[in-house]
Structures are given as C-alpha cells and as structure tokens.
Chain A
Amino acid sequence: MDQKKAIFRLKLVLWVSALAPVAWLGAAFYFDTYAANSVQRVSLGANPIEKLTHVTGMTTLVLLLITLSVTPIRRLSGWNRVIKLRRPLGLFAFFYAFLHFSIWSGLDQTFVWGWMVEDVIERPYITVGFAAFVILIPLALTSTTGWIHRLGTRWNVLHRGIYVTATLGVIHFYWLVKADVRLPLFLIGCLVVLFAYRIQSSWKKRRKVSPKRDIQPANP
C-alpha cells in the first residue's frame, strides 16, 4: 500500500516537473506579448524562436537520460515498481521532441519544405537530430499496453530504439555548439555511464546463463 502511495507521489512530481519547462515558456510568451516593458524576468528574450528551440531540445535530452536511468535505478535499488515511471517519462520526452520539431519546422523554417529538406540532407547535426526524432515516433505510438501485448518480445527489440535516439540526440547537441562544449560533453558522459551499466549487467547475465567450466571449486 505504502509502495503504491510512493509511486503515486513520484508520478505527481514527474508530471509537475515535466510540465514545468513548457509552463515557463508559455508564461514567458504571455509576458512578452501582453506585459512587455513591465519589470519581468520571465522572458523569451531577443530571439524567442531560438529560446523555444533550445529549451524544448534540452528538456528532451534530459528526459531521455532520466528515462534510461529507470532500469539501473530499479536493479540497483531492487525497487521494482519504479518501472511504472518509465512510460510517462518516455512519453514526455517524445512530447518535448515533438514540440522541438514543430518549432523548428513551423516557426523557424515557416514550413518552407525546400529549406527543411536542404537542412536535413546537408547539415549533419540536423540530419542526426531529425533521425533521432523519427525513430522516437513508433516508440511513442506503441507505448500502450495493447501494443505491448500484441508485439510480445518484438516490442522489446523495437524499444531499444531509444538507445539510438539518445545517442543521436546528444551528438546533435554536441555538433551544434561552437566552443563551450562542457554541457554536451556532460550529457554524453551520462549516456556513456548508462550504457556501461547495461553492457556490464548483460555480460553478467550471460555468464549466469551459460556458466563456463572455470567455476571456482566448492569450499575445500
């Protein structure tokens, strides 16, 4: 019972904090439009489209990394119910990726298809960013319980796509920075740690499944 309560609380925290960035952007847009020149700290600044793009992109990456840390947290803490947070986290990551993509295509490129195609083809950082988003779409669509049952083990294979998306996502960020690469490198570092944990634990599992002959002898 207590465990259920704890999960409920965690989900509440998740919803509030995951919606905070979009709420902040909305408030900033409101103040800029209707309350400009009042004393305000909440503002999209001189280049609002860039600000919207950066905040949604950054939030996507952070949510992807948090989504990927659910399984390690579950294994290390032994608290299985924490898995209940994984789907909403992943869907919020998709929500921000979708906002990010829409702001780029609608506001930044004003739906000029020629410009967008040119960017996706010719600019490597946009190519990988676009690919990361496209890969995320089927994952979001098949996130329902119905699809999980329908796909069976193939669901697990499909949803490994999040590893690709996260990798391309941090590369996308790293490639667009001009000089101060500390933040993208930090995110890449986080991802490497998360991958290392998975590699190490699957390696352990394999050893358990097919034990080699060099098993230590029983107590002499």
Chain B
Amino acid sequence: MIIRTRKPSDVPSSEITPEDVYVNRRRFIRDAAVGTAALAFAPNVLDASESDPRQQVPARFQNMKSELDEDLNPYEHITEYNNFYEFGAQKEDPARNAGDFRPRPWTVRIEGHVNKPGDYQLEDFIGPSNMEDRVYRMRCVEAWSVVVPWRGFPLSDVINRAEPTGDAKYIEFKTVVRPSEMPGQRTRMLDWPYVEGLRMDEAMNPLTLMTTGVYGMDLPNQNGAPLRLIMPWKYGFKGIKSIVSMNFVEEMPRNTWWVQNRREYGFYANVNPEVDHPRWTQARERRLGELRRRRTLMFNGYTEQVESMYAGMDLTRWI
C-alpha cells in the first residue's frame, strides 16, 4: 500500500475547485449575487427545507432500527443537545457557538511507535468504499442516551496504515485547540487540549468507529466535525471530537476527565449499571424523547462484542 505523507505545500483535495464550478464560474458568480439579493429581501428562505438538514435526511433512515429494535433519535436530538465543552458547557451551547468552526482542510498527525508517522489529510482516510452507516446506542455518563446512525470507518483501518510497532500499547488522541473558533477554550474549565485514550485492543475492536457523519451527512461542527471517535460500549465522553493527533504510546494516557476528577471518571469508562457514579446512579438512563427511565445495559448492550477484552479485570476498580 502506498502512503502519501503530505508536504505543507501540497493542496488538499478539499481546497480544489470542482471542475464544473470552474467551467461555469461566471454563472456561479451570478447565481451567488442573485442568491444574496434574494436573501436580503426574503430572509425566511433560510428556513426553507433546502437548507434545513432535518429535511434532507435520506429516506433509507426512515424506518431504520437498532439491533434491539429501538427507534433512532431524530436529527435534532443528536445535533442540538451536545456535550462539547470546547463550545460551552450547556447542552445548547455547541449548536449555538460552533458556527465559526472550519472543519476543512483537516490534518491528523500520527506519531509515536509507528512505522509510518506523518501528517495525514482527512481525504487520505475517507475512501468511497470504506464508509458505512452504523446504528449505535450512545450512553452519556450523565445518565441520558440516544440512538444514532453514525457514518464512518473502522479505526483499525487507520491503525493498520500507520503500522504500530510492538511498543505501542495505547493510543492517545487529542482535540484541536482553536480558542478563536471555540469559545469554551477561552475558559479554563478543562485542561485543553481535550485528551482521550484507548488500549490497543479496544482501538482495534471492530465496533470502534472513526466517525465522519451522522444520518448519512457530514458531521455538524457541534458533533465533532470532521473526525471523531465512537465506542458505543463506553460512556460518551470517551468519544473524542475534532481529532488532530494520534500518538501511539506505551503508557496509559491521562485522559481529560480523569485529570479533572479521577474519583468520578476513569480511563476505561465502560458503561456499567452496577457501578454508580459518585453523584448519580448509573443503573438507569433517560432515552431522549422518552419519559420513563430505562434500565442501563451492561456495556450498553454490547457485552458479546467487548466482554473478552476485560476478562479478569475488576470492573468496580477500573471504572
């Protein structure tokens, strides 16, 4: 396999103007001008269905269910109720404050114990063939949950390309730091950059999804555009967003919430209804859109796929 590591002078394909736009550039300018004028006189066209992603959800999602026959949560639950402290600590803050964030072009630095370190462009990972939709439950450590049709590719694809050496025991991930575009990073409520980590076998697990989209469309900024992790058997905070760095290391990474409060947040953060968070129960959860709380499932219902990785570990100690 050929790995192209890019020089800073290389133009990423996301910045290249598509040919048809170039050929019809005069019409493009005219349309833009007309469109702007129309917007000025009729501001409510912004609410028309064309620009509202809720109206663009592809039809194939209409009757989609999870493997446990659960309904999907609607697009607005997933994109308007977020924990992404880089954009503010309230649930509505990310959707409100993420508008200035520019998710493209995007570079991910891969370093540490690998044979193929380098700066990879987002486009290096996203091929036409490896993208898939996956319906996963997401359980937040705050005892709410959603069912989401993510879009992405297995993290193992990236790992295999990087060729880790025998010394790589964990991967440490980092979120981008851009205080000018991320108002939450102008405060000190957390240690920036946000750091998360996975043990190598967790990272290679087929469930672990490098996620680039939701409901068949690109991730909105508030959901961690353009690249985030999803491990459905772990609490949501493990799913680090807007990833710019993957470091293959020997030692267990010190993840952000563990640093913040190690009594309450561990490294593993596997969903476990039998081990309560010190401040609330983890035995139950509220599925967004439902009134009565449901029982939380061990490993969030993915026991079969992940249990063997934790055989012999005391899960009350390794929270």
| Contact surface of A with B, Cβ cutoff 8 Å | 39, 45-47, 49-50, 107, 110, 115, 118-119, 122-125, 175-176, 178-182
Contacts and interface: CB of A to CB of B under 8 A. Distances in A.
Contacts, number: 54
A4 B189 CA distance: 47
B291 interface: yes
A110 B286 CA distance: 12
B279 interface: yes
17 contacts: A45-B92, A46-B76, A46-B80, A46-B81, A46-B91, A46-B289, A47-B81, A47-B144, A47-B286, A122-B281, A123-B280, A176-B279, A179-B85, A179-B189, A180-B85, A180-B89, A182-B187
A45 B80 contact: yes
A13 to B, nearest CB: 28
Interface in B57-96: 76-77, 80-81, 85, 89, 91-92
Interface string B145-177: 000000000000000000000000000000000
8 smallest A-B Cβ distances: which pairs? A46-B81, A180-B89, A46-B77, A179-B189, A180-B189, A46-B288, A39-B47, A110-B292
A110 B288 contact: no
A107 B291 contact: yes
B interface, by DSSP: helix, strand, loop or mixed? Answer: loop
B309 interface: no
A156 to B, nearest CB: 36
B37 interface: no
A124 to B, nearest CB: 7
Interface string B280-298: 1100101011011100000
A45 B81 contact: yes
Contacts of B91: 45-47, 50
Contacts of B47: 39
Interface in B272-319: 276, 279-281, 284, 286, 288-289, 291-293
